[in-house]
Chains A and B, each alone.
Chain A
Amino acid sequence: MVSELTVLFRRRRTWAMLLALAAVPVLIAVAVRLATSPVAPGRGPPFLDRVTQNGLFVAITSMVVCIPLFLPLTIGVVAGDTIAGEAGLGTLRYLLVAPAGRVRLLIVKFAGAAVFCLAATLTVAVSGAAIGAALFPIGPVALLSGDTIGVGESVLRSLLIAGYVTISLLGLSAIGLFISTLTEVPVGAMAATIVVSVVAQVLDALPQLDWLHPWLFSHYWLDFADLLRQPLEWTSFGNNALLQGGYLLVFGALAYGRFVTKDILS
């Protein structure tokens, strides 16, 4: 496991993706800071209008911006690379001959992807909070329910949102892991994972497919606003966790079924 993380975080690619994610809040904050006219409420991404009043909202706005594309993109790269990347390099056969054990390898690989999800969302949150604090006033945060919480509490809420988004991405990671066991071409697995995430969001946007929406892994992605209410509204958190858990089980099982019997010919 430690070795897996070492390999993951010694790659320049991993750091490039985290840097790109960290750049999003910076871009947003700088753009808002430089804009002459105040942002009208309701224009642009949610919470954008609040950024000038409270820097802590940079993190939340950035999260909203990153969720549909940037985060799935980086997760797609990492999750798609898990098995296919090793197969592409040829190291998969040496890991298995070591013998790493196929199930153990899958678990470690998924855990590595999950850690990356957490790292990615934390990067956005931390970078957002930092740039927000640097460019805008920081103060008590007015919640969606109208209540106000202190800075300490709001940092806690930010971390909670990061946790929510991390969990949101686990379903996609499991799908990526499964796709990764199907091929020896890591780029293919990465692209397929990203496409799956885009397709899910497109389907989620079609009102004709109402019945399908609660089953899409991306359905609750943006529902973390509930964590900005007082008292805390855990329903969407719970629904999301349950749904992601379901995806994890199904695609984890598929990945297991595929990988355990697979001939490693790369």
Chain B
Amino acid sequence: MTSATPSVELAIETRGLTKRFGHQTAVDGIDLAVPRGAVFGFLGPNGSGKTTSIRMLLGLATATSGDIAVLGQEMPGRLREVLPRVGALVEGPAFYPFLSGAANLRRLDTADPGASSATRAARVNRALERVGLTHAASKKVRAYSLGMKQRLGIANALLVPRELLVLDEPTNGLDPQGTREVRSLVRSLAAEGTTVFVSSHLLAEVEQMCTHAAVMSAGSLVAQGTLDDLRRVGQAHVRVRTPDVADARRVLAGLGLVADRVDANRTAADRSAADRTATDRFGAPGDPNADGLLSAPLADGAVAAETIVAALVADGVRVRGFSVVGASLEERFVALTGEGFDVVQ
């Protein structure tokens, strides 16, 4: 497997990984490459095949075709050697509701034949402490909130030091506080050298904690690389706020920029709410003094921003706001996966 990637050691590598259920292809020949030490975001809308891929990586489901290597070893063939080095949270936490949090962790720890029973109690306590559940350790999991179960699931993944963590939707059900804690936990684990593979449908989450990302759409891998690489492919936009929309558009067109009015398609309800304050400042809608917002894609290095402003002003356009917006991951992902992508607001 090193032949194709001489420079970087990969924690996860798949080739042509495919999973079919009957006629339906859930995962369609994906080639994942997760470098060691990366925090790798695995993005995609719900139902795009993320969890199925993770199940195959962990040997829970067999691939219809394709090869998997995890931590340099073939899966599922070397499952016994690989899995003790991998901590996982797969499709939400699952526990015995009639056992306490600590008892659940002990139970799952005994399932690993390599885990030492002598250090079990200490390791369970440390894992609980790490996710802030020490106070609830003896409480039955039945009484846990979803967020607490999620934390317990992460604690389970941390019972022994791992080389790779696979976290499927780790912040599901967590409050903003908990989300932040998970994020910092992931960062601290990454700082210790653990490779973290996080699946998520939340862009903001991935944007904030990942170094690399891959995007799934309808079972296929549509993009993969470092976050910067992915962003670079996207396009920057200039945004102009002005009451002289028509003039501004003409000027922009003169510079080779095709502008769209981005506030024009707002609904009436939106408009009435948003413009009530705007009306005070800029006059009623339809008023020649009311602001419009124009947006035009800006090709790399095509026109300098200051040139655009100068041209607008020279033409008497009343520029009330001007900005160059860098490509956001969100735009990139919507472009890759289509609208209807389940993004964080």
User: What is A's interface to B at a CB cutoff of 8 Å?
Assistant: 2-3, 6-7, 10-12, 89-91, 93-101, 104-105, 261, 263-265
Contact = CB atoms under 8 A, between A and B. Distances in A.
A263 B84 CA distance: 20
A98 B108 contact: yes
B222 to A, nearest CB: 24
A91 B95 contact: yes
30 contacts: A2-B110, A3-B106, A3-B107, A7-B96, A7-B99, A10-B103, A11-B98, A89-B94, A89-B95, A90-B92, A91-B108, A93-B55, A93-B58, A94-B90, A94-B156, A95-B111, A96-B59, A96-B60, A97-B83, A98-B111, A98-B112, A99-B59, A99-B79, A99-B83, A101-B113, A104-B113, A261-B62, A263-B60, A263-B61, A265-B61
Contacts of B93: 90
B60 A95 contact: no
A188 to B, nearest CB: 19
A237 to B, nearest CB: 35
Contact of A263 (B55, B103, B108): B55
Contacts of A97: 58-60, 83, 86, 88, 90
- Name B's interface SS: loop
Given A7-B99, A89-B94, A263-B55, A94 B108 contact: yes
- Name A's interface SS: helix
Nearest to A87: B94
B80 A99 contact: yes
Nearest to B83: A99
A157 to B, nearest CB: 37
B62 to A, nearest CB: 6
Contact of A264 (B61, B79, B113): B61
Nearest to B51: A265
Contacts of B58: 93, 96-97
Interface in B66-88: 79-80, 83-84, 86, 88
Top 7 A-B pairs, shortest CB-CB distance: A90-B94, A98-B111, A100-B111, A263-B61, A99-B83, A3-B110, A98-B112
B95 A264 contact: no
A238 B11 CA distance: 55
Contacts of B80: 99, 101
A106 B58 CA distance: 19
Interface string B213-229: 00000000000000000
